Structures are given as structure tokens and as C-alpha cells.
Structure 1
């Protein structure tokens, strides 16, 4: 099936920026038809699900509309663009606070007046009385509240990056770690986390550090230790899944005390993820 043929079959779209693809966003996707799609208004600064990362969190195809290229459109121009892209469009699904067009001055009333198909408006999703929004999840991550962030996401928050050469001190004097270079993703609060690490097509229990290496060289690093597993093959990329914040970053007065703490971190992480 060609791309143009498939576009002609799409009869419903959910519209939004969708940074996070969280439970609030998933509520929109549940209103799509079998031949539905996700229309991503890409602002270019998504950090929970940057770029095409959004596509892995839905079974529906995602089509991207760069904001810079459509921000000048009025309400009619935006809908004309949608219907040109999806000629069989019969249903549009949006959130309760949806705004669109130039300067975001058009709202749901305009959408309902101009679109000749069905408009479904999904109400706010809450967890424990707290509204599920991308900005809320970002704040939770910045404060290390991984459990609540994951509840709002409806999945385990993850970041992905490439492996880079480290100082080699961990393997020699502490514990072996994979040193990561992460771009675009929002990093949780600095500190130590119980995590899962995906590499080489497998997922392993791990403990991950984010922050300045106060006890070593003072440089910022993101490194993960794979628990009870020796990685003796080249690794190019790793995905880290955050399960629970363990402790704050701090400076130790010797490698001995640092290693003792790391061993304690590993034991704590095992109790959390190895169940």
C-alpha cells in the first residue's frame, strides 16, 4: 500500500502537540476509528517524546505538521490543509483546551463551525485529582517524582542515547558503567535511580546516575550500571527506563566510601526492579 493510498483511507485524526503521549493524549486516541491517525503539531521543542519518539507510543500512524510552516494559517486554512492531507476525513478529535491557527486565536467553536464532519472533544484526564498535562509531568521529573510521572504517562519514562568512552575509573576502582550521551530528552532530577536499561535487544535491571561526578572530576555524566551482568560486547546505544529515585547526588571523601555507597545503591535497586 502506498503512502498516498493509505492517507486516502484515514477518516479520523487526533490533533495536538502530544509531547509525552501520556494518558491525557491516549484518551484522544481511544476516540479514533480503525482508520485513524495522529496529527502532531510539532513545535520543535518536545522533550518527553522528542521528534519521532512519539510514534513508538501509539499503534496509530503519526503525521507531523511543523508549527513553523503552519502557524500563519487562519482557521479555514488549517482545516483546508487537514482535509487536503486526509481527503476522507470525517472525524476530528481534540482536547478540551485545544486552540489552533495564527496566534492560537481559534478554538473548538471555530472548529465545529468550519469542519463539516464530527468533532469530538475529550475532557481533562485526572489522576488523584491532578490534571494530566505534559508540563505537570515535566515538573514531576525535575523533582525526581518518578512514580507519579510514570502514572501520568501510563508507562515508564525513558530516555535514549549513544554510548561514549568514559574515564575508565568505574571499571577499575568502582563498578563498570556505560557512559551515555543524551540529546533532546528531558533529564530527571540529578541523583541515583533504580532503572531498567535496554541494549542489544535485551532489557536488564540497572542503577543509573545523573549529575556532576563530585567525587571524581566534577564533570556532568549520565551512566548506568547493569546489575549482575557483565557486558563484554560493544554497545552503541542504550535506553534507560526510570523506575524510582534512590538518593541525591553528593560528594564522598574517598573512593572506598563512594564504592560502598554504590554497592548499597545496587542492593536497593535490585529490591525494586528484580522482583
Structure 2
């Protein structure tokens, strides 16, 4: 897949079927847009493309810290696996934010023959543009209806974050169509896990959404190998050593130095909430129970170990 970062208009002889949006999550709702792009690209002999931004607009417009379900690199990898030809990434600046809906179309959508958007799509200065702004343009438009979760709620990144906050990882994964995951570099910690028989690989959440504190059954990808393990999300209250939430992963059947390596941790099942223990022996006993419960849970699901 070709990844093109846009500071201004892009000159090309190609013509595209293109979906426009932020795509935080690439969940069931987003995949409906991707499928429509691929269908129109095939039928009309166009290149398939997605157009998004290099950061969430609110991070600039309101100086908000925006935690995402996927990183920029995750988005690239997922879209490439889906067979998309080109990903356009607009570098979102105040100049871009000030573009009127028509100016945005003129600058970025010149080479689009078929545009795909969601039913509630908004764009342009102060979100003044909507689906009606896309009529009478040089491209055809497909407006995709919402994928409903229940009678009142659509599948959305907000809903998935709510599920993750409640500990309902399995339902969140169903809406994502894959396990929620975090990819990051293994960093140095206090190394306390090693002293009690449970060495951990520690990964910072960075810009990822911080899910419910607690213990999880996880699947870990290290280079080309896959392992299973137990992950803890939290600030290690027993030792009261961390100011920010961290992901600590004890990987089953792996004993090697991972410091500096990038690993991917997929969350499969929520086991219990984080808790404070009175002493080390009480903690070790609970960790043993967690390990047994995780191995049993992952064995009786499709995630065999």
C-alpha cells in the first residue's frame, strides 16, 4: 500500500474510489466504508484509497489528549492487509482547519471519482460541511448507514471504549473484528516481577486508550512468534511505585531479554480488577491463581495454548 502524506494538494494521474474520515479503530462501522470503497474501485476500475489525518483534529483545535484504539502504524498495517491501494494522510494544521467545505474538496478531492462517507460525516471549518455539501460535485457519493449495536446505539469508537472501560474485552473485540491491542517498545521497570517468579515486559500506553485496570489473558507477538501470557494494566498499587498506568506482561514459555524490542499485546479476556495486596506472598498466590485461570480460559476458547 502506498502511503502519501499531504501538506497541500496532490498531483497524480490516478483516479480513486476513496473513503474520508479519521478511522479511529477500524471497527465494524468503518469496515462498511472500506468494503464500499473496494466494491466501487473494482466495478469502476479505480484505485482504492482512504483519506485521514495525522492526528485527531481535537488534539489541535481544543488541545485535548486524544487516546486512540489504534496507532497510526496500526492503521497503515490494517488497511494494507485489507487490500487498500493508497492511504492519504493529511497533516492537520490550523490552515487545514480553516478551510471551507468547498475549499477542502477543491484542495484534496480533485482526483476522486467516487467518495464514500458515513451518514454523520462532517468536515470543513467549524464542521460546516455535511453530506449535503457533497452533492453536485465532480464525484459520485455513497453514504453508508450506521451499523447498529442495539436499537439505540451505533457501533462506534466511543462505544468500544466504554466496553473496554467496563472490562468487556470480548464484546469490544467482536466490534473491532480483532483483539484490541497495544504495540510498543519494551521499557525498563522496577524488575520486581523477576524476584517473585513472574518477570514482565513493560509497555507504555503512549497514545493508546487506557483500558480498565486489572489482569487480562493476552496474546503476545514477538517478531514472528506468538505467545500467551498474563497482562496487568495499572499502577502497581501494592508497591505504590508508578504515577501513570503501565502495561506489564508476563509471557508464558518465554525467557529472553526483550528490552528495546517492539512487541504487540492483544487483549483476549478480562480476569479481575487490580487490587492491593498485604504482602508479597499474598501477591504470589494470587498471580499463580491468575495464571491457572488464564491458561484454562484460553484453552477452552479458540485461543488455544
Which TM-score applies when normalising by structure 2?
0.82
Following TM superposition, by how much is the alpha carbon of 1:179 offset from its aligned partner in structure 2, in angstroms? 1.6
Describe the superposition over 1:180-217 as per-residue Cα deviations: whole angstroms up to 9, x where unpaired: 22311112111001111111321211110011212223
After superposition, where does 1:205-220 map in structure 2 within 5 Å? 205-219=228-242, 220=245
- Is 1:204 the counterpart of 2:227? The answer is yes
SS at match of 2:121: coil
Please, which runs of 5 or more residues in structure 1 have no aligned partner?
none
Q: Is the 8 A contact 1:196 1:273 kept in 2?
A: no
Most deviating of 122-131 and 15-24: 122-131
- Change over 3 Å in CA distance of 1:2–1:118 after alignment to 2: closer
**Aligned counterparts of 1:156 and 1:123: Cα–Cα separation in 2:** 25
Following TM superposition, by how much is the alpha carbon of 1:271 offset from its aligned partner in structure 2, in angstroms? 1.8
After superposition, where does 1:15-164 map in structure 2 within 5 Å? 15-32=20-37, 33-34=41-42, 35-41=47-53, 42-43=55-56, 44=59, 45=66, 47-58=68-79, 59-60=83-84, 61-68=86-93, 69-84=95-110, 87=111, 89-113=112-136, 115-129=137-151, 130-164=153-187
Q: Is the 8 A contact 2:119 2:145 kept in 1?
A: yes
Most deviating of 185-194 and 120-129: 120-129
**Aligned counterparts of 2:296 and 2:150: Cα–Cα separation in 1:** 27
Correspondence for 1:271: 296
Which one of 266, 273, 280 corresponds to residue 255 of structure 1? Answer: 280
Residues paired across the two proteins, number: 271
Correspondence for 2:7: none
**Aligned counterparts of 2:101 and 2:282: Cα–Cα separation in 1:** 62
Q: Is the 8 A contact 1:10 1:37 kept in 2?
A: no
- Change over 3 Å in CA distance of 1:235–1:272 after alignment to 2: farther
SS at match of 2:292: helix
- Change over 3 Å in CA distance of 1:250–1:181 after alignment to 2: same
SS at match of 2:51: strand
Q: Is the 8 A contact 2:17 2:113 kept in 1?
A: yes
Following TM superposition, by how much is the alpha carbon of 1:158 offset from its aligned partner in structure 2, in angstroms? 0.5
Q: Is the 8 A contact 1:199 1:235 kept in 2?
A: no
SS at match of 2:285: helix
**Aligned counterparts of 1:245 and 1:37: Cα–Cα separation in 2:** 36
- Change over 3 Å in CA distance of 1:271–1:2 after alignment to 2: closer
SS at match of 1:195: strand
Please, which runs of 5 or more residues in structure 2 have no aligned partner?
5-9, 60-65
Following TM superposition, by how much is the alpha carbon of 1:229 offset from its aligned partner in structure 2, in angstroms? 2.8
SS at match of 2:88: strand
Q: Is the 8 A contact 1:48 1:185 kept in 2?
A: yes
